[in-house]
């Protein structure tokens, strides 16, 4: 039976220096998964599923699995608003390559 979550090795990741956020952001293309646009958050650069928080992006930013402090959710929401078009285009396959989306994502200025 296929998984409903993308394999972590298929996900790109962004370190805090790239996002302006105090945590790692993991992202992927939809790959035919039933969920809508999501990112995953971790406080470690290691891909440990049990340590990740799944956050839906559309229609609004909200935690769907795991726990994220209100202040971190607020920061993530600001970053998503800044980058929502590019994240959506990557998820939908309009931006095909991970390197291309990394070039257009903008860090949050704090």
In whole angstroms, give the CA distance from residue 78 to residue 30. Answer: 22
pLDDT tens-digit series, residues 25-81: 999 888 655 568 889 999 988 878 888 999 999 889 999 999 999 999 999 999 999
- Domain range enclosing 71: 8-95
Is 17 part of any domain?
yes
Comparing 110 with 8, which gets the higher pLDDT? 110
| Number of structural domains in the chain | 1
Is 19 part of any domain?
yes
Q: What is the pLDDT of residue 30?
A: 80
In whole angstroms, give the CA distance from residue 16 to residue 76. Answer: 11
Is 46 part of any domain?
yes
Q: How far is CA 58 from CA 45, 47, 68, 85, 98, in A?
A: 25, 24, 17, 11, 20
Is 110 part of any domain?
no
Is 13 part of any domain?
yes
Q: What is the pLDDT of residue 2?
A: 40
State the pTM of this model.
0.85
Is 107 part of any domain?
no
Is 79 part of any domain?
yes
**Section 2-25 average pLDDT:** 77
pLDDT at position 4 over 80: no
């Amino acid at each position: 039976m296929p998984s409903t979550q993308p394999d972590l090795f298929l996900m790109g990741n962004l370190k805090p220096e790239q996002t302006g956020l105090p945590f790692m952001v993991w992202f992927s293309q939809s790959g035919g998964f039933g969920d809508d646009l999501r990112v995953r958050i971790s406080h470690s650069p290691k891909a440990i599923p049990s340590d990740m928080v799944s956050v839906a992006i559309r229609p609004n930013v909200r935690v769907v699995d795991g726990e994220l402090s209100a202040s971190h959710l607020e920061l993530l929401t600001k970053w998503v608003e800044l980058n929502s078009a590019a994240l959506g285009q990557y998820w939908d396959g309009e931006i095909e390559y991970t390197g291309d989306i990394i070039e257009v994502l903008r860090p949050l200025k704090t």
